[in-house]
Amino acid sequence: MIDLTGKVAVVTGASRGIGEATARLFAKSGAKVALLARSEDDIFRIASEIGEGALAVPCDIGSLEAVDEALTQVEQSLGPVDILVNNAGMIDPIGALAEVDPEAWGRLIDVNIKGVFYAMHRVVPSMVARGGGTVLTVSSGAAHSAIEGWSAYCTSKAGAAMLTSALDLEYRDKGIRAMGLSPGTVATQMQREIKASGINDVSKLEWSDHIPPEWPAKALLWMCSAEADAHMGEELRLRDEAFRRQIGVIA
């Protein structure tokens, strides 16, 4: 297993799904892990189950002030951040572009794009001052192709992917390892919401069609290692069987 001993990792959206699986795996790999999410009960439960070195920090990732306060708490409790995993994201509103609630559309942008920027903006200066760090952002195939009913989600994921590219362009030579991960469809609460919508082909998938959240977690852990250095600035795709073999989720 990749050794993260001595590293401080922040995982946003850590109350369930990919975020929870990533926080648990990073902690098992030796990192001190801060779990950020709005669902206080869930992150406190998960942190207590992980045990020593896990910190639950309630945070609305779509608020600049909340992100700043949360990361200040992380720094004071665990130390400066070495690894940031931008995982927090939402899918609602799902519906035709001209029919969805504009406020809900804007709220998704606050979380899925602004939240990624806020976290990057907050941790990168400290990383650069200490010689570097790793910033991983969970992306999606929706970043590159429009999907019916997902105007907000597709737009947000395209924006988050561009933030990864911009971060790499501007800060790679300052020690920042920026990469994206497109996990494909994952068995999480988001897929239940998609299924319930009944809109587009993704909603017609069976639960067994989705990969477990532990697979993206393993991919994100691998991306923290020197083996992934050749992929800086890229978006790695977990649908790629060769990549699945490389991280050991299939034979």
Q: Is 153 exposed, middle or buried (0-12, 13-18, 19+ CB in 10 A)?
A: buried
Counting the structural domains of the chain, the total is: 1
Residue 64 included in any domain: yes
Read out DSSP for 89-134?
------B-TTTS-HHHHHHHHIIIIIHHHHHHHHHHHHHHHTT-EE
Residue 199 included in any domain: no
Residue numbers of the domain that contains 46: 8-184+212-247
Map residue 155 onto helix, strand or coil.
helix
Q: Which of 153, 171, 215, 222 is catalytic?
A: 153
Residue 173 included in any domain: yes
| CATH, residue 34 | 3.40.50.720
Residue 230 included in any domain: yes
Residue 206 included in any domain: no
User: Mean pLDDT for each 10-residue chunk of the chain (251 residues)?
Assistant: 95 97 98 97 98 97 98 98 97 97 98 98 98 97 95 97 98 98 90 91 88 96 97 97 94 83
Q: Report pLDDT for 178.
A: 98
Q: What are the structure tokens assigned to 5, written together?
A: 């001993």
Residue 136 included in any domain: yes
User: Strand 32-37 vs strand 8-12: parallel, antiparallel, or unpaired?
Assistant: parallel
Q: Report pLDDT for 190.
A: 87
Rounded distance between C-alpha atoms, residue 145 and residue 107, angstroms = 21
Residue 196 included in any domain: no
- How much is the CA Rg of the chain, to the nearest whole Å? 17
Q: Report pLDDT for 188.
A: 85
Residue 189 included in any domain: no
To the query of whether residue 171 is one of the catalytic residues in this protein, the response is: no
